């Protein structure tokens, strides 16, 4: 199979439809409201530095994305920590290294902004996501645990 040329660039507000389309293809449910809120927070609030990325093929079709939050904050910029919260690759393009490429560029970009640590939450039963984060050098936190209470 011919190797596709994939370019990674910063996400723009106009990428909304493509992101919702990929999310729907991955999860088999449509949740535009979730992304409406995320896009508004990231692109219109002025409280976050641009860190989210998209992957596009040679026809400029968006085939994957990674979204993170780097809060600027009320008391000036606090860039020590950032979060990656959503990552998705079009099922027709998975297992070709695009997810890894997105993560590598995301990490490089955050490093340049002074970030020292990136956090994420993963469902332990989601083997594919656990393997994806493991292969991208994420390890269980030693300092923080996720507490919960059934009510």
> Interface with ligand COA by CB under 6 A: which residues?
23, 26-27, 86-89, 94-100, 128-129, 131-132, 135
Distance of alpha carbon 104 from alpha carbon 18, whole angstroms = 21
CB of 29 to ligand COA, least distance (A): 10
CB of 70 to ligand COA, least distance (A): 20
Pairing outcome for strands 62-69 and 117-119: unpaired
**Pick 17 or 100: Cβ nearer ligand COA:** 100
**Pick 59 or 150: Cβ nearer ligand COA:** 59
**Pick 127 or 149: Cβ nearer ligand COA:** 127
| 98 and 89 Cβ atoms separated by less than 8 Å | yes
CB of 135 to ligand COA, least distance (A): 3
Structure tokens, 132: 């994806």
Phi, psi of 2 (to 5 degrees): -70, 135
**Pick 72 or 129: Cβ nearer ligand COA:** 129
The three-class DSSP label of residue 62 is strand
| 102 and 66 Cβ atoms separated by less than 8 Å | yes
CB of 37 to ligand COA, least distance (A): 15
């Amino acid at each position: 199979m011919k190797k596709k040329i994939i370019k990674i660039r910063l996400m723009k507000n106009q990428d909304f439809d493509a992101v919702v389309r990929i999310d729907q293809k991955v999860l088999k449910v449509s949740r535009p409201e979730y992304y409406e809120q995320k896009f508004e927070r990231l692109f219109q609030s002025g409280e976050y530095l641009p860190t989210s990325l998209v992957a596009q093929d040679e026809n400029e079709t968006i085939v994957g994305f990674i979204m993170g939050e780097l809060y600027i904050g009320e008391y000036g910029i606090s860039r020590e920590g950032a979060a990656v919260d959503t990552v998705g690759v079009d099922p027709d393009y998975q297992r070709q290294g695009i997810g890894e490429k997105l993560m590598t560029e995301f990490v490089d970009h955050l490093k340049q902004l002074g970030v020292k640590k990136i956090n994420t939450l993963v469902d332990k039963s989601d083997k594919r996501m656990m393997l994806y984060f493991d292969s991208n050098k994420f390890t269980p936190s030693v300092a923080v645990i996720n507490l919960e209470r059934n009510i």
